[in-house]
Structure 1
């Protein structure tokens, strides 16, 4: 009995020893954890963010380009295409999907989930990790992916815990969720939830539906693995989305019926890349890049540092209307392939051995190609970046290489000599188009070309080409302003010679009418409508070239214009940008308004950094501007722009090339405009105006030696006018845009008669028109 009792006592002592050792180890473990926390917080294992950094975590924020109707046109960024949103901009089901999948007890802990951590320790991680949303945010913000060795992982986990606790003290639960959605990289330049919503579904975050939210939350596990694009892992992404939906059902956020229904659906991806060369308004964004860099150079931060266009999260509010921009780009996409098909049809090797050039011999073509080679980006890169010898560079242009080239049917992967690809690209016709509100100067649409990825030269502001007959309204406006002429006044349609020496003219100038027809007389309205060169020359003879050039300069044209009579027929090279601003002055009652592209700029906190100031000046009297507009209305009523009034469906050949016999526009509203066609049909123009919108369109090839052989397709009415017609049709049909279809406003005091039915030349005493005897027959 005593022996058994002694044995029991021994067992009790042994058990007590185990208990003591357990508590010693437990306390030591706690002390060790506390010590490790202290050491980590003291920075022994690496620097931790202080209060200031926690309050303002350093993340690169993209500069956002915002349209006048509140849409994102694009962004400026290097690596991080991130634009933050607030918690209130997140749909509730998106937040619920995150919590159900990543941190079910999110609202119950203060940064560390003790139950989850204990479970992870006991199961050695086999039951899943225990990182809370706060810990994951800490990892994303302050130390990335972490170490690959055990010691490193432990110390980084400690730092995660400490930072997570600090974040929970610094921010509300809602703010932490918003920060986590904003910081995550969803792949494909989709940094943050706003970019991801736009790129994968073409939506703002608050527009996401439940299954879309579930897919994006599913990507938090691994955005590279669970990538919805077809060439990546759409099946795995769908399966992962369904896991998220199952988690939401498990925690009571959705019903089983909703879960089962949504799990059967497809992803519904609407992939909309946001690269600098894709998307809407690419040419305008390229212009804006230069504008912003100039602004940043001259407008430092209060502390003297320069703003970072690609990381400071600026917001640039522009005048571009995303709807009108889309209509403009759609119009180009509709017309240009048809026009190009006809151009290619006329320039087959059988029909044109020197295709795509005309009127050039082989030596001239060789010289042109050699010059283009030396002006190319490929040449610049090889010569200045790679420091290659010129002989080697030239040889490289004649070696076949793999490349992707543009076509209207889509990109083509091919093997081609760079020199051959240059010649191939020279066969393409290019567009330039700008649309502007004449009263405010706000530029509403800007199409600098047809594909920025392959053609980066901007034909709105960079390019200048001969304007042809679109210059004539400037001559007419000068004559109206100086001589008080009426559109109903008549001049003889006979050839005129301006002698050498007059107006500094170096040699005699005798312009010819494009149709070769002379005789009788024409009213000014009829003469402008039908682009009668002799009438324009007579007006130039009356006013002289200097007043015309002075007027054009006041209308905002910066290009050099020679002061010679021949400018009357449009020999000057001007840009679409300059032409639209100049024409807008006529619609704005003679007041020039400088085009505006940016209304204001804000920093990431909403502080206004820049506010535009309108630049205007009086150029013409309201009466002279109105009379010029009435003159140009004649172009669409009975001149070269009459097809805008016609009815009838487009007719096409079997290969979809357009036969220019009529256009289905059938506009009924007043339209003032002017077509322009340059020598040898190298450039086609159309300038068109309604009271609150002025739009200019140019079409032509890169080299003037590439052009249509005849005027059938090579005139402005065939090359450029259809783009204007398609664009304006869409704008007018969109009632939200409120495009005016009314008459141009008539001045309260108008002394010049514009209605030729009421015109009495004897009463027009201020016309200063000479008495000219017009012979019945002319012999030239």
Structure 2
């Protein structure tokens, strides 16, 4: 007698014994009927409760149709080149038309043989599972779930309900069955199949068929062989137990079974089954390295701005869009061609500056004071994390002095590998100077290149958005305010020392070359960056108009209306300074810099589009005057190194800046079409050149702009983007510059005290030291 017959005979014997021992009566039949009706009512009630969401949200038909897998977003430069993808699950969607027929057949034959005939629930499969599990006592018969039910499970998960594992499982099965029927009532089988294969998880933490086929075979889904498709379907039995790479033999046996099932279902002939079973799998496993994100400091800022821009934009599901899950397409203003030239310029200059810095130090520590080192320690991630965890300072200090295996990164070089302490790491980091560089199209404020540091792997800190004192670059706002107050470029300003009453005490500004006396014209004072003249100019206008114009041109933060702001004690960022300087060549109109032009959702709908808003700050003639003032600085002033050392001859304007003790070096300038700015300095102000002029803006920051322009000029596809020339200045503007830039003090032989004072007489000279003005060509 076979096992089935034995089981049935045993069941019949038990029924006869029960009937003998408990004869059927009217009352027992009534009880049985009542029990049956109670069970039916209970089941129907339970189904109704599940259907109406008593045990978790039940998506409507429209919600089921609208469901989208978590798909990362992608950002593009202005030419459509990818900057990188941003995701939680590395997944790309595959259309049904791109799925090979044998892949679909393998899945149907193995997972849901009646896929094309049922309406979401396969009652026959449920009966098979019940019979084999309950009557036959067999294990591992599966759950009888259809592909539609599995899709519901993959999409919405099985959260813990709190009723115990068996009850929770029952409720989830009921929920998935109801939703599967609801799904198939509104969705064709082809779309169910497409969604399933895009949703399901394959081995090696890959999501969707596209990721799996690329990972294991380096092929697109439509290029898979019959055996390869069967192997991936086989792996769904258990993504770890049947991994084609790690569990080769088990996967091979399961693959042969899948092929056999395809033959039984009529999808393959016996000959094709035999051929496929004998075929080589041609496994070509390849784990892609972490996707390279181009312009990493820029994309870091882009992600922040995307989150801000979308914070008030509602997804169709009523929630804000998510960069990492909602398949957004972010179109930025960056031009990777400009970016490449900008990055090369920064790396080139920082190698030169770092060598000079190390020679200058002569073995001394890069930080001048212990306070600088302590500040760097307390700003380190390790210290902050330790404090957040409640570790006391003494224990943190001990941990900072404990050596361990560590890599110390070197900008654009191979890291140092060995036994180092966290303190060694901080000191190592402090020893390298930093840089930031930004380029934008000043016509509309579109950012074209953004370099937050010379090597993102060395430091993620972005020096385009970091705040540092601005030095003499701030003087442009002093003279712009003077023009608005009615002062003329030929207005004469004393260059003699003077002490001012300041809220911090008496203050006597001096020039960087310690040469004083005589008078500058206003345009001469900016050309040669006289500190003494700048302070006297702001005293003439008062500081308030300077503060106002700086704010209007985009300089954020608090600016105290005190005389010392004329020398750049104000803190700002490259982002703000470059945007502000762009106002001058843009005809006096300030346009806020921006990095994102538009954002589209997964359906191609535009959910954000940039709208440029510009503010008229200066009149056109005033802006043209500022352009000429800054052009003189390049032609023969503090920024003339651009001409005589770096050979950049195209029309340019610009201003250098150096803060106290050369802690910061700046340069901000423009060509007729682009405005850019560079900053060079230490991690904190205690890391700097301590003597000489190697740390000033002309030596440290200006070369970055020069190298960038050289790179652009050598690029035949981009050289025209620099622009031909600034607009010609009017005769009125030209005439306003016809005066001596500098008139030296009268040399009186009989003088005993040679120290120049406010009362030192000045020689009145004929106009023989008139500035030579470019004719605008």
The TM-score range, normalised by the shorter chain, is 0.5 to 0.7
Aligned-partner Cα distance in 2 for 1:419–1:175: 58
Q: Where do residues 416-495 of structure 1 align in structure 2 (5 Å cutoff)? A: 416-451=420-455, 455-461=459-465, 463-483=466-486, 485-486=488-489
Q: Which stretch shifts more, 403-412 or 765-774?
A: 765-774
Q: Would the alpha carbon gap of residues 497 and 567 (structure 1) be closer, same or farther in structure 2, given more than 3 Å must change?
A: farther
Q: Secondary structure at the match of 1:740?
A: helix
For residue 579 of structure 1, report the CA deviation from its aligned partner.
0.4
Q: Secondary structure at the match of 2:732?
A: coil
CA shift digits 1:79-136 (9 cap, x unpaired): x33676473xx8x66656855875699998778999x99xx999x999xx99997687
Equivalent residues of 1:551, 1:619 under 8 A apart: yes
For residue 475 of structure 1, report the CA deviation from its aligned partner.
3.0
Aligned-partner Cα distance in 1 for 2:620–2:603: 44
Indicate which of 658, 668, 672 corresponds to 2:653: 672
The residue aligned with 1:81 is 89
The residue aligned with 1:659 is none
The residue aligned with 2:187 is 171
Q: Secondary structure at the match of 2:453?
A: coil
Equivalent residues of 1:490, 1:521 under 8 A apart: no
The residue aligned with 1:271 is 289
Aligned-partner Cα distance in 2 for 1:373–1:336: 28
Q: Secondary structure at the match of 2:506?
A: coil
Q: Would the alpha carbon gap of residues 55 and 535 (structure 1) be closer, same or farther in structure 2, given more than 3 Å must change?
A: same
The residue aligned with 1:720 is 701
Equivalent residues of 2:438, 2:575 under 8 A apart: yes
Q: Would the alpha carbon gap of residues 180 and 556 (structure 1) be closer, same or farther in structure 2, given more than 3 Å must change?
A: same
The residue aligned with 2:273 is none
For residue 689 of structure 1, report the CA deviation from its aligned partner.
1.4
Q: Where do residues 533-544 of structure 1 align in structure 2 (5 Å cutoff)? A: 533=531, 536=534, 539-540=537-538, 542-544=540-542
Pair 1:392 & 2:391 matched = no
Aligned-partner Cα distance in 2 for 1:642–1:633: 10
For residue 423 of structure 1, report the CA deviation from its aligned partner.
1.8
The residue aligned with 2:380 is 376
Q: Would the alpha carbon gap of residues 310 and 684 (structure 1) be closer, same or farther in structure 2, given more than 3 Å must change?
A: same
The residue aligned with 1:509 is 508
Indicate which of 366, 386, 390 corresponds to 1:356: 366
The residue aligned with 1:55 is 65
Q: Secondary structure at the match of 2:546?
A: helix
Aligned-partner Cα distance in 1 for 2:184–2:567: 73
The residue aligned with 2:555 is 557
Q: Would the alpha carbon gap of residues 40 and 219 (structure 1) be closer, same or farther in structure 2, given more than 3 Å must change?
A: farther
The residue aligned with 1:313 is 326
Pair 1:283 & 2:297 matched = yes
CA shift digits 1:219-274 (9 cap, x unpaired): 7747987999xxx97999xx99xx99xx9xx999xxxxxxxxx999988886343x
Aligned-partner Cα distance in 2 for 1:598–1:323: 14
TM-score by length of 1: 0.67
Q: Secondary structure at the match of 1:629?
A: helix
Aligned-partner Cα distance in 1 for 2:83–2:229: 22
Q: Would the alpha carbon gap of residues 328 and 549 (structure 1) be closer, same or farther in structure 2, given more than 3 Å must change?
A: farther
Pair 1:692 & 2:710 matched = no
Aligned-partner Cα distance in 2 for 1:109–1:336: 70
CA shift digits 1:186-235 (9 cap, x unpaired): 7888655788899999x9x9x9995999999977747987999xxx9799
The residue aligned with 2:355 is 342
The residue aligned with 1:405 is 408
For residue 440 of structure 1, report the CA deviation from its aligned partner.
1.9
Aligned-partner Cα distance in 1 for 2:226–2:350: 39
Aligned-partner Cα distance in 1 for 2:247–2:427: 44
The residue aligned with 1:183 is 199
The residue aligned with 1:589 is 587
Aligned-partner Cα distance in 1 for 2:139–2:190: 28
CA shift digits 1:446-472 (9 cap, x unpaired): 3333455663433222x2112223223
Q: Where do residues 187-336 of structure 1 align in structure 2 (5 Å cutoff)? A: 191=207, 221=235, 271-273=289-291, 279-291=293-305, 306-307=319-320, 309=322, 313=326, 315=328, 317=330, 319-323=332-336, 326-327=339-340, 330-331=343-344, 334-335=347-348
Aligned-partner Cα distance in 1 for 2:215–2:702: 34
Aligned-partner Cα distance in 1 for 2:70–2:634: 52
Q: Would the alpha carbon gap of residues 626 and 387 (structure 1) be closer, same or farther in structure 2, given more than 3 Å must change?
A: same
Q: Would the alpha carbon gap of residues 405 and 513 (structure 1) be closer, same or farther in structure 2, given more than 3 Å must change?
A: closer
Q: Secondary structure at the match of 1:406?
A: strand
CA shift digits 1:355-395 (9 cap, x unpaired): 112xx4xxx41x443344344333332233x2233332333
Equivalent residues of 2:651, 2:724 under 8 A apart: yes
Q: Would the alpha carbon gap of residues 198 and 453 (structure 1) be closer, same or farther in structure 2, given more than 3 Å must change?
A: farther
Q: Would the alpha carbon gap of residues 69 and 145 (structure 1) be closer, same or farther in structure 2, given more than 3 Å must change?
A: farther
Equivalent residues of 1:580, 1:696 under 8 A apart: yes
Q: Which stretch shifts more, 574-583 or 691-700?
A: 691-700
Q: Secondary structure at the match of 2:590?
A: strand
CA shift digits 1:662-686 (9 cap, x unpaired): 65xx545322222223333321222
Q: Which stretch shifts more, 449-458 or 568-577?
A: 449-458
Equivalent residues of 1:97, 1:213 under 8 A apart: yes
For residue 576 of structure 1, report the CA deviation from its aligned partner.
0.9
Q: Would the alpha carbon gap of residues 573 and 101 (structure 1) be closer, same or farther in structure 2, given more than 3 Å must change?
A: same
Q: Would the alpha carbon gap of residues 604 and 767 (structure 1) be closer, same or farther in structure 2, given more than 3 Å must change?
A: same
For residue 301 of structure 1, report the CA deviation from its aligned partner.
7.0
Equivalent residues of 1:282, 1:452 under 8 A apart: yes
Q: Would the alpha carbon gap of residues 294 and 765 (structure 1) be closer, same or farther in structure 2, given more than 3 Å must change?
A: closer
Aligned-partner Cα distance in 1 for 2:511–2:546: 21
What is the aligned length? 685
For residue 752 of structure 1, report the CA deviation from its aligned partner.
0.9
Aligned-partner Cα distance in 1 for 2:482–2:358: 43
Aligned-partner Cα distance in 2 for 1:704–1:285: 27
Equivalent residues of 1:511, 1:534 under 8 A apart: yes
Q: Would the alpha carbon gap of residues 745 and 339 (structure 1) be closer, same or farther in structure 2, given more than 3 Å must change?
A: closer
Equivalent residues of 1:496, 1:510 under 8 A apart: no
Aligned-partner Cα distance in 2 for 1:216–1:729: 53
Aligned-partner Cα distance in 2 for 1:106–1:333: 63
For residue 620 of structure 1, report the CA deviation from its aligned partner.
0.9
Q: Would the alpha carbon gap of residues 669 and 501 (structure 1) be closer, same or farther in structure 2, given more than 3 Å must change?
A: closer
Aligned-partner Cα distance in 1 for 2:114–2:673: 55
Indicate which of 147, 150, 155 corresponds to 1:141: 155
Q: Which stretch shifts more, 562-571 or 186-195?
A: 186-195
Q: Would the alpha carbon gap of residues 523 and 484 (structure 1) be closer, same or farther in structure 2, given more than 3 Å must change?
A: closer
The residue aligned with 1:28 is none
Aligned-partner Cα distance in 2 for 1:217–1:730: 53
Q: Which stretch shifts more, 552-561 or 98-107?
A: 98-107
CA shift digits 1:556-609 (9 cap, x unpaired): 212333434443332322211210111011121101112233445555555555
Aligned-partner Cα distance in 1 for 2:602–2:146: 28
Q: Which stretch shifts more, 562-571 or 684-693?
A: 562-571
Unaligned runs of 5+ in 1: 1-34, 253-261, 647-661, 754-763
Q: Would the alpha carbon gap of residues 329 and 496 (structure 1) be closer, same or farther in structure 2, given more than 3 Å must change?
A: closer
Unaligned runs of 5+ in 2: 1-39, 133-137, 260-266, 270-279, 756-777
Aligned-partner Cα distance in 2 for 1:337–1:216: 52
